[in-house]
Structure 1
Amino acid sequence: MTLTILADVAPLQANKDGVILVGKTRVTLDTVVAAFNQGATAEEIVYRYPSLKLGDVYGTIAFYLNHQPEVETYLKQRRQQSEEIRAMNQARFDPQGLRDRLLARKAENEM
């Protein structure tokens, strides 16, 4: 009996927004890489995110280790997008202004 060796495709897919997801879950590549970089094992990652399959986590970690510069570039772009969206939302929905309006409304109702 001989063992046939086939190259497995990384268990990653991009959704319609360009976010890379692991396996057939909504867990992002960002999440798995962050947990791995914090020292979590593949088993611990699956424990934290039960929708993941152990083989998919190992495959994702292998992909990350084999393509680290590209993945780091992707993660950096995701962080930049996140910061831009956060700044845009804070500009549109000023939390301090909302707090002041709610406190004023509360004060009016207490009179």
Structure 2
Amino acid sequence: MKNTPSVTKQYIEQRDEGYWILGTRISLDSVVYAFLAGESPESIAQNFPLLSLEQVYGAITFYLANQKLINSYLEKGEEEFEKLRLSLRERNSALHQKLIAAKAQKQGKA
């Protein structure tokens, strides 16, 4: 009997309550958000030079096969980020005001 390659290959791992490209520090979120923004897999691979084109396609395939789960995971992350942002805003309103002023000044120069 010949040695045949495995039919399935893992591209994503779950760790620290998140999803990551297997063996990297690159989150699935990064690839998915780029994909949802309309970037091609080739462009995503260029923007993440540590990833091969195969890994990018694998990540996108994983997302498409688990879209409901991953969309829910992404929404939860966005909600947590917003809560953290509001909490930091309340705890340090002076810093928040400085950041708003700096942003406004930067936009005025652009």
Same fold (TM over 0.5): yes
| 1:13 aligned residue | 13
Amino acid at match of 2:13: Q
Give the number of equivalent residue pairs. Answer: 96
Moved segments of 4+, more than 6 Å? none
Distance 1:3 1:52, change over 3 A: same
Q: Secondary structure at the match of 1:27?
A: coil
Equivalent-residue separation in structure 1 for 2:85 and 2:39 (angstroms): 28
TM-score, normalised to structure 1, is: 0.73
Equivalent-residue separation in structure 2 for 1:36 and 1:92 (angstroms): 35
TM-score, normalised to structure 2, is: 0.74
Equivalent-residue separation in structure 2 for 1:25 and 1:69 (angstroms): 24
Structure 1, residues 37-90: CA drift from partner, whole Å, max 9, x if none?
122111110111112222111111001111111111111111111111111111
Per-residue deviation at 1:96? 4.6
Amino acid at match of 2:88: N
Unmatched tracts of structure 1, length 5 or more: 100-111
